[in-house]
Amino acid sequence: MAAACISLAVLTALILRRHLVVVTVVGHSMLPTYRPNDRVLVRRGIVPKRGGVVVVELPSTERRSWELPPPGLGSPRGAVTARRWLVKRVAAGPGDPWTVETGAADRIPSGHLFLLGDNASVSFDSRQMGPFPVNRVLGTVWRRL
């Protein structure tokens, strides 16, 4: 009986570890919602909705592109911790309108999200990068720890 309980506990921990990740907030771009060093629990594999907060991979700043494959549910833990992450709010999804810096109107392409920090004066987000690919989203912030 005890061995079965331990096996069930280990199995549950492995499943949760695959679907839940703890991320530490860095910087001031999400003030006042999240402060630097806040820790948030992120649910992987959840489709982000407008208004929700997500953790998205930061691309290489020199090329504004990604060098590693997208962070899927099957990614080993090292593949997640080796990347740099941003915590941002979903402002618009595929097909929604958005305005580019030149003032021209456009629509969010399929498979992309327009992400903004809550503290616009210091946030690096879609205003500088354009829409982020959905496959670069680690997951949706579930709660602060």
Please give the Cα distance from 22 to 3 (Å, whole number). 29
Question: Distance between terminal CA atoms of the chain?
Answer: 33
pLDDT value of position 68: 61
Mean pLDDT of the chain: 81
From the list 61, 41, 50, 30, the residue with the least C-alpha distance to 129 is 61
Which of 4-13, 31-40, 87-96, 110-119 has the least mean pLDDT? 4-13
**pLDDT tens per residue across span 9-66:** 444 444 555 689 999 999 999 999 999 999 999 999 887 899 999 999 887 665 556 6
Q: Which residue has the higher pLDDT, 96 or 9?
A: 96
Please give the Cα distance from 62 to 64 (Å, whole number). 6
Which class for 81: exposed (0-12), middle (13-18), buried (19 or more C-beta within 10 A)?
exposed
Residue 110 has pLDDT above 70, yes or no: yes
Diameter of the chain by CA atoms? 67
Please give the Cα distance from 42 to 19 (Å, whole number). 8
Residue 118 has pLDDT above 70, yes or no: yes
Residue 80 has pLDDT above 80, yes or no: no
Residue 124 has pLDDT above 70, yes or no: yes
